Amino acid sequence: MYLSIFYSLLGLASGTGIGYAFGLLQAVALRRNELRLREGKFKSGISLIPGAGARTAYLLVTLLIIQVVCPLLFRDGTQWWVSGGVLLGYGWTLFRQLMLRRMEAKA
C-alpha cells in the first residue's frame, strides 16, 4: 500500500518536473519570438511552426525516455499521475505568464 502511494507521488513529481521544464522552454521561445517581433525580424507565422514542432517532439521524446528508464512510473494506473503532473507543471508556467501580463496591464 505504501509503495503504491510512493509510486503515485513519484509519478506526480516526475510529471510536474517534465511539464514545468516544457513550460519554461515554451516561455523562452515566446520571449524570443516577441523580441523578433519588436526588432522587425518576424517574417510570418509560418516561420514559427518548425520551432514549435521541435519543442513538442522534445516533450514526447522525454516522456518516451521516462517510460523506458522508469517503467515503474507507468504501471497500475500510475501513468495518470505522471500525466496529471505534466498538466500541473505546464499549467503553472501558463498561470505565471497570465499573472505577469495582468500585472503589466494594470501598471
pLDDT digits (tens, 9 = 90+) for 15-60: 899 899 989 988 888 888 788 888 887 776 666 666 677 777 887 8
Residues in the chain: 107
User: At residue 88, does pLDDT exceed 80?
Assistant: yes
The label of the residue with cell 509503495 reads 3
Q: Give me 31's grid cell.
A: 520571449
Of 28, 30, 11, the C-alpha closest to 88 is 11
pLDDT for 103 = 92
In this predicted model, what pLDDT tens digit does every residue of 52-87 receive, in sequence order? 777 778 878 887 887 777 776 677 778 888 889 989
User: At residue 99, does pLDDT exceed 90?
Assistant: yes
Gap between the Cα atoms of 85 and 12, Å rounded: 5
Helix (H, G, I), strand (E, B) or coil at 44: coil
Has this prediction a pTM greater than 0.85?
Answer: no
pLDDT for 55 = 76
Helix (H, G, I), strand (E, B) or coil at 58: helix
